[in-house]
A and B are shown apart, each in its own frame.
Chain A
């Protein structure tokens, strides 16, 4: 485990995070975490994480938020829900991971080298543009902007999929695609009002 430092920024972040997380349904259950490790033990990607979900909760309780959001942990969560279902304290860990992802993006704290936040962005952009996620467009953008090695890994499969008609190059727009932008705009405005 890398050194965990608390900074004034971390303290302020912690306050904001705690408020948000405790406001989640069953958020207060984080207080009764036994640190048993069932979550990390069950997690399919914990071996890749800087620290597993258990440590995220321990760090959170210790006020060390900055390191949590700058780690790759939350971005490696596949939301498979094993942890949530097996947790003896009933903590909704997957929801906590989503919340931390959201807070990390909101405060622009996602680690620069992590590709997941970018993929998320391209997904959403695609949906807003067409109303549905155009997989090819999303992947193309991702490859171009984030991971040039991908085309080398992917080209064989890509050809096969294309031949099988599973990779349409053009996207159809839904009639109501503008509604999605409007929905986002409405909710953003509401949030701004609340603050």
Chain B
């Protein structure tokens, strides 16, 4: 199996571990990830706030490149990138005005895109293409007894709900159940917003939301929170000390990219998965699951 791969801007900076662990995890599953050539920023929420058509057009540049590389599927790891790219496809299909504008804009730089590249979230590929049985077979380090809180974030299945239930997604639940973990399926906060970019512009708002998520995780005795979005991971993990400072709490809950934990279960080297690069230590997780 081979997929064109779109890392996203965070993957080169704060989300480096997500990129590294995605590659390592896929490697263990025998899936080749080919990085999209010369990919650009998807625009995320910021472009949408300023110029809608620009947003679609620059997102579509990536999809055009995918077509040029001869593929019709693109694997995406970040929720925001996923939603932006998928939204671009959706709007191009439903609104001829958008389609025309995007085609014209791409034409101005010598590219073209016909709307036919499927944007696939990495979890979608894991569950629906590779399948939980195949993944379970390759697990060498079972996550038995590890209480995992699957944190999907807000833009995983909302607004489109294309590959998982729009209100209550369960694909990550199933992934970790297959790996033997004690998944906290009743973790209702799993799609609550972490605050996203607000952590920089309105820290108080984002810290409050992260505090609520950490309270929920603690109430359900989570040993680790796994996330599917670099922003979510950063907010919950990187800023956990600041949550403690603001609320007088003493949270010390490991937060990992789900690919890091999945990679561990599949036998990848923790160094390859960049687990030592976390701000909140994951030592307890590593200790809980014998090699």
Contact = CB atoms under 8 A, between A and B. Distances in A.
A contacting B, Cβ–Cβ less than 8 Å: yes
Given A180-B40, A183-B106, A135 B209 contact: no
Given A81-B154, A84-B158, A157-B279, A176 B38 contact: yes
B202 A48 contact: yes
Given A116-B201, A127-B43, A135-B13, A85 B57 contact: no
Contact of B9 (A25, A132, A139): A132
A174 B159 contact: no
A76 interface: yes
A83 B154 CA distance: 11
Given A101-B49, A116-B201, A131-B41, A183 B108 contact: yes
B283 interface: no
Interface residues of B, number: 64
Interface in A87-103: 92, 94, 98-99, 101-102
A157 B197 contact: no
Interface stretch (B69-77, B128-136, B188-196, B249-257): B188-196
Given A124-B47, A176-B40, A78 B201 contact: no
B111 to A, nearest CB: 8
A107 to B, nearest CB: 13
Nearest to A98: B48
B94 A80 contact: no
Interface in B101-142: 101, 104-106, 108-109, 111
B193 A123 contact: no
B46 A78 contact: no
Nearest to A130: B41
A92 B106 CA distance: 28
Contacts of A132: 9, 12, 39-41
A79 B14 contact: no
Interface string A151-195: 001001100110011111000101111011011111100110000
- Where chain A touches its partner, the secondary structure class is helix
Contacts of B241: 156-157
B41 A127 contact: yes
Given A119-B46, A183-B105, A184-B51, A168 B159 contact: no
Candidate in B16, B158, B242 with the most chain A CB atoms within 10 angstroms = B158
Contacts of B216: none
Q: What 3 pairs between A and B have smallest CB-CB spacing? A: A80-B154, A80-B193, A81-B158
26 contacts: A25-B94, A44-B192, A48-B204, A76-B198, A78-B154, A78-B198, A79-B154, A81-B158, A98-B48, A102-B52, A123-B46, A127-B43, A131-B40, A134-B9, A135-B14, A157-B242, A160-B279, A164-B276, A165-B277, A166-B16, A166-B17, A180-B61, A186-B104, A187-B53, A187-B104, A187-B105
Given A160-B279, A167-B14, 13 more contacts: A78-B193, A84-B159, A102-B51, A120-B49, A157-B279, A161-B14, A164-B279, A166-B15, A174-B40, A177-B40, A183-B105, A183-B108, A187-B105
